[in-house]
Amino acid sequence: MSSKQPPSLYEWAGGQPALERLTTRFYENVARDPLVGPLFANMDKQHPRFVAQFIAEVFGGPTAYSAERGGHPHMIRAHMERHLSEQQRRRWFDLLLSTADEVGLPADPEFRSALVSYLEWGSRLAVINSQPGAQVDPQAPMPRWGWGETHGPYQPKS
C-alpha cells in the first residue's frame, strides 16, 4: 500500500500552464459573448493570468495570487458594485466549463466535480458580492478545494 499523497487539483489540471491556457481562451470567448462580454470590455490585459493564479491557489498550487494581489479580499473587492445577474453568472459558468473542454482540461468525473463545485460556489459568491451593500472581510481566507473537500469561507444567507 502506497502512502503517497494524491496530486492536488492544481497538479491534476496540468499546473499553471494549463490554467493560463484555460483563462486566456476563456476571456477570448467571453469577449465575443453579448451577455458577459461587456462586463470585461475594459479588463486589464493581465486579467486572465491573475484569474489563473487565483484558481491555482484555490486548487492547491502556488500562493502567488495572495502574495501579489491580496488574496480573497482583493477578489471580493473586484466584484463589488458590479450588479451581476443570475443570467450573467450562468453564462460565465457555462462558458468556463465549455472552455475547459475546448482546452483539454481533465474530463474525469472526480476533477470535473471539484471544478464545477468551485465554479458554482465562486460565481454565486461573486453575484452576492456584486450587489449594493456588500462588505469585504479584510481577513477573508482563500478558499481551498481538493478531492471531495472544500474550504470556502462561510457566507450567511442574505
State pLDDT tens for residues 64-113.
988 898 877 778 887 878 899 999 999 999 999 999 999 999 999 999 99
Quick check: is 63 in a domain? yes
Tell me how many domains the chain contains: 1
Nearest to 150 by CA among 86, 54, 77, 60: 60
pLDDT at 158: 47
DSSP, collapsed to helix, strand or coil, labels residue 145 as: strand
Give the lowest-confidence range in 52-56, 79-83, 111-115, 116-120: 79-83
Quick check: is 2 in a domain? no
pLDDT at 156: 44
Quick check: is 111 in a domain? yes
Distance of alpha carbon 146 from alpha carbon 49, whole angstroms: 21
Domain of 135?
9-147
Quick check: is 55 in a domain? yes
pTM, full prediction: 0.89
pLDDT at 148: 82
Distance of alpha carbon 21 from alpha carbon 18, whole angstroms: 5
Distance of alpha carbon 115 from alpha carbon 74, whole angstroms: 21
Q: Beta strands of 4-140 (E only): which ranges?
A: none
pLDDT at 152: 60
Give the lowest-confidence range in 1-10, 71-80, 120-129, 145-154: 145-154
**Phi, psi at residue 55, to the nearest 5°?**
-60, -40
| Cβ-Cβ contacts under 8 Å for 99 (sequence gap 6 or more) | 22, 25, 26, 29
Distance of alpha carbon 101 from alpha carbon 24, whole angstroms: 14
pLDDT at 157: 45
Using the Cα atoms of residue 90, residue 52, residue 107 and residue 100 in order, give the sign of their dihedral.
positive
Would you say 63 and 57 are in contact if contact means Cβ atoms under 8 Å apart?
Answer: yes
pLDDT for 50 beyond 80: yes
* pLDDT, tens digit, 9 for 90 and up, residues 9-41: 999 999 999 999 999 999 999 999 999 999 999
Q: Which CATH number does the domain housing residue 143 bear?
A: 1.10.490.10
